[in-house]
Structure 1
């Protein structure tokens, strides 16, 4: 699906999606027209989904990050849908992942400090529907966080 030219463009693009089209074309060793055409084709194919801002939560005052592993009450047929719909409404839940196994979902929650987290946990997380079990893992350090793919 991707040839070597596409891969060269992607390698440069993912390191700095904000660079101008002429610079991207030069770094990928293609003409600006070729670069633009191939980027558009990769966007249309869903290979490039979006350009986005990566915001440092700590710079905005969010010092606490918690991963909550949640097991749902599987005797309730709508448990998953109702839980995820309610969890999406909590602004401090910044990521929801699903799993197969003992843990059904993982919520990634941010808070300004421990008092804020405790308030969120009691007022917004525990009331979420159909929770059978919940385990909190306090984030200590991010060792690797990289969205660059080996293309």
Structure 2
């Protein structure tokens, strides 16, 4: 598997270019990175096979699809045993409102980023769904006022 120490400059240029526009053709990529289209294709396939490159997606503007409320929610669990944690994590993976969830160290067990249409939608999600889960003890919510920075591009 390629890791950060085994990526050469052409790999890094490919990664930067694909993070900006995943729809670029191999010919366009070749021109950008200074390699042949066939070489770009082989490198991309190798980066995919090694797991460095994951799925290609299109990003959706949350405001334009009625999901303009962005909430950071901290959760504390009733139990830290493996079974309840795994059950809760599987539950969260099935919730479309949850854009990200991180198991955390420190005072809180999880940090979720939730997107909803409005405050009422978040209240329903929090009170009717999350806090009704048998493994959740408590939650703290923080509403984002403005998105200062957002990127999906990994520095390479």
User: Which of the residues 9, 12, 37 maps onto 1:7?
Assistant: 12
Q: Tell me, yes or no, if the aligned pair for 1:96 and 1:107 is still in contact at 8 Å.
A: yes
TM-score w.r.t. the length of structure 2 is 0.87
Alignment partner of 1:115 is 2:117: no
**Residue 56 (structure 2) aligns with:** 51
SS of 2:45 mapped into structure 1: helix
| Secondary structure of 2:139 counterpart | strand
Matched, 1:74 2:79: yes
CA contact (8 A) 1:9 1:28 kept: yes
**Gapped regions of structure 2 (runs ≥ 5):** 1-5
Other structure's SS at 1:135 match: strand
C-alpha deviation, 1:76, in angstroms: 5.3
Question: Which of the residues 106, 110, 127 maps onto 1:105?
Answer: 110
Aligned length, in residue pairs:
151
3 and 88 in structure 1: CA distance in 2 versus 1, 3 angstrom threshold: closer
Once the two structures are superposed, residues 88-135 of structure 1 have per-residue CA deviations (whole angstroms, 9 ceiling, x without a partner) of: 333322222111221111122221111222222221121112222210
CA distance in 2, matches of 1:77, 1:2: 36
* Secondary structure of 1:78 counterpart: helix
Alpha-carbon displacement from aligned partner over 1:4-42 (angstroms, at most 9, x marks no partner)? 222222222222111111111111111111111111111
Normalised by the size of structure 1, how large is the TM-score? 0.90
2:134 alignment partner, one of 113, 129, 132 = 129
The residue that corresponds to 2:39 in the other structure is 34
Structure 1 position 77, deviation (Å): 5.4
Q: CA RMSD in A?
A: 1.7
- Structure 1: gaps of 5 or more residues: none
